[in-house]
């Protein structure tokens, strides 16, 4: 089968599509014939070596954390899922490898009928990340959440999941994306110089929590939150350590199932079931910015690194 991998840190040019043996579903897992798979900004950071002190990497590194497809193998002990079922889900963090013709999923849920394969292929990683950070920030009813980079692949899902929890959301984005953010349930504002004043005009008492999906404004975000403990970032940034801001990521698990890696947060895979329920109610979309074949992986990574894509970037299979 075809799989996407890299054998050294570097630019998008280090990515290669290679022929490898297909994996098989072990106990408690399923294998899918992949229809679409996702590309996260975290994956580009791993490839570039920006997370080398945080996420352990053994070369060659197979890419891809989330995928959607048709189940073609069911591992021992799996119940409620059969060969032929359409699902979306994620690989084990230490294994990854979802950007391939076949992928083994460690967590999955039924593909919502309302979602296309492209939407489902990019859903699980964004949903898990969004749920994980909302839990860490304890976002709930009556709270106000500020999302820096709200129009991106994770930001768009965070906005909707936070709104489903009863929170108000303010999201930063370029002006061309402001109307789009309103359709998701966020009050938009521009990023860049003057951010503190613009947000305070919308939220005079300041946000209860802040999520940074884009980087470049951590000092202002901490000022708005009033406490670095109320800020979480998804972007590797030396300023985070100096400011006391937590970098959230899901790290591989050791033999006991405990997450390892610097600052790892527990994976929030229960969010997949929540996503299915919300999708069935028409309350959760997974905007797709662009879709690429595996052979154009370098272009996909370049688009992701530009941080101007509106929604998820996915690979079609």
Span 45-102, pLDDT tens digits: 999 998 887 778 899 999 999 999 999 999 999 999 999 999 999 999 878 899 999 9
In the predicted model, what is the mean pLDDT of residues 287-303?
97
CB under 8 A, 24+ apart: contacts of 51-59: 51/236, 51/249, 52/9, 53/262, 54/236, 54/247, 54/249, 54/251, 54/261, 54/262, 54/263, 55/249, 55/251, 55/252, 55/261, 56/94, 56/251, 56/252, 56/260, 56/261, 59/6, 59/7, 59/8
* Placement of tokens 């404004």 in the chain: 217
CATH of domain 127-247: 3.40.50.720
Instruction: Supply angle C-alpha 258, 262, 265, rounded to 5.
Output: 50
Whether the pLDDT of residue 133 is over 70: the answer is yes
Instruction: Supply angle C-alpha 163, 251, 212, rounded to 5.
Output: 40
Q: Check if the beta carbon of residue 124 is closer than 8 Å to that of residue 107.
A: yes
Q: Which of 48-57, 155-164, 266-275 has the lowest mean pLDDT?
A: 48-57
Q: Of 22, 24, 35, 161, whose CA–CA distance to 87 is shortest?
A: 35
Which stretch, 39-48, 241-250, 264-273, 294-303, has highest mean pLDDT? Answer: 294-303
DSSP string, 178-206: HHHHHHHTEEEE--STTHHHHHHHH-TT-
Q: Which of 40-44, 170-174, 185-189 has the lowest mean pLDDT?
A: 40-44
Q: Is the pTM of this model over 0.75?
A: yes
Whether the pLDDT of residue 32 is over 80: the answer is yes
What is the pLDDT, as a whole number, of residue 94?
Answer: 78
Q: Of 145, 65, 146, whose CA–CA distance to 313 is shortest?
A: 65
Inter-axis angle of helices 41-48 and 297-306, to 10 degrees?
Answer: 100
146: three-class secondary structure by DSSP: strand
What is the pLDDT, as a whole number, of residue 253?
Answer: 47
What is the pLDDT, as a whole number, of residue 259?
Answer: 44
Based on DSSP, count helices (H) and strands (E) in the chain, helices before strands: 10, 16
First to last CA, the chain: 11
Q: Which of 2-11, 117-126, 161-170, 240-249 has the lowest mean pLDDT?
A: 240-249
Q: Which of 123-127, 171-175, 246-250 has the lowest mean pLDDT?
A: 246-250
What is the pLDDT, as a whole number, of residue 262?
Answer: 52
Whether the pLDDT of residue 282 is over 70: the answer is yes
Whether the pLDDT of residue 283 is over 80: the answer is yes
Q: Check if the beta carbon of residue 63 is closer than 8 Å to that of residue 37.
A: no
CATH of domain 2-122+286-316: 3.90.180.10
What is the pLDDT, as a whole number, of residue 40?
Answer: 87
Each domain of the chain, given as residue ranges in start order, spans 2-122+286-316, 127-247
Pairing type for strands 61-62 and 231-233 reads: unpaired
Q: What percent of the chain has pLDDT over 90?
A: 84
What is the pLDDT, as a whole number, of residue 251?
Answer: 57
Q: Indicate the helix (H) or strand (E) that contains 264.
A: none
22: left (phi over 0), alpha (psi -120 to 50) or beta: beta
pLDDT digits (tens, 9 = 90+) for 211-265: 999 988 999 999 999 999 999 999 888 889 899 999 997 655 443 344 444 566 8
Whether the pLDDT of residue 15 is over 70: the answer is yes
What is the pLDDT, as a whole number, of residue 255?
Answer: 37
Pairing type for strands 86-90 and 246-247 reads: unpaired
Q: Of 251, 275, 240, whose CA–CA distance to 131 is shortest?
A: 275
Q: What is the mean pLDDT of the chain?
A: 93
Q: Check if the beta carbon of residue 287 is closer than 8 Å to that of residue 311.
A: yes
């Amino acid at each position: 089968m075809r799989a996407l991998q890299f054998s050294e840190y570097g630019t998008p040019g280090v990515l290669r599509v290679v022929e490898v043996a297909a994996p098989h579903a072990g106990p408690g897992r399923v294998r899918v014939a992949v229809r679409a798979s996702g590309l996260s900004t975290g994956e580009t950071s791993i490839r570039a070596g920006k997370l080398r002190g945080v996420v352990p990497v053994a070369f060659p590194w197979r890419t891809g954390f989330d995928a959607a497809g048709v189940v073609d193998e069911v591992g021992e002990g799996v119940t409620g899922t059969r060969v032929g079922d359409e699902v979306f889900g994620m690989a084990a963090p230490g294994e990854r490898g979802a950007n391939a013709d076949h992928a083994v999923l460690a967590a999955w849920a039924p593909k919502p009928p309302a979602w296309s394969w492209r939407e489902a292929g990019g859903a699980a990683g964004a949903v898990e990340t969004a749920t994980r950070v909302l839990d860490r920030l304890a976002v709930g009813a009556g709270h106000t959440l500020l999302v820096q980079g709200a129009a991106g692949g994770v930001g768009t899902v965070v906005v909707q999941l936070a709104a489903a929890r009863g929170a108000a959301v303010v999201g930063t984005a370029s002006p061309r994306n402001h109307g789009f953010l309103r359709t998701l349930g966020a009050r938009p504002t521009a990023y860049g110089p003057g951010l503190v004043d613009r947000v305070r005009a919308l939220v005079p008492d300041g946000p209860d929590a802040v999520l940074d999906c884009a980087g470049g404004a951590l000092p202002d975000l901490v000022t708005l939150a009033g406490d670095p403990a109320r800020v979480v970032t998804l972007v590797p940034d030396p300023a985070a350590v100096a400011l006391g801001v937590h970098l959230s990521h899901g790290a591989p698990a050791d033999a006991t199932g405990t997450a390892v890696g610097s600052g790892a947060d527990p994976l929030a895979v229960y969010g997949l079931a929540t996503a299915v329920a919300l999708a069935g109610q028409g309350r959760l979309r997974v905007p797709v910015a662009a879709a690429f074949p595996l052979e154009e992986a370098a272009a996909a990574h370049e688009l992701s690194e530009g941080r101007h894509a509106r929604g998820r970037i996915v690979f079609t299979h």
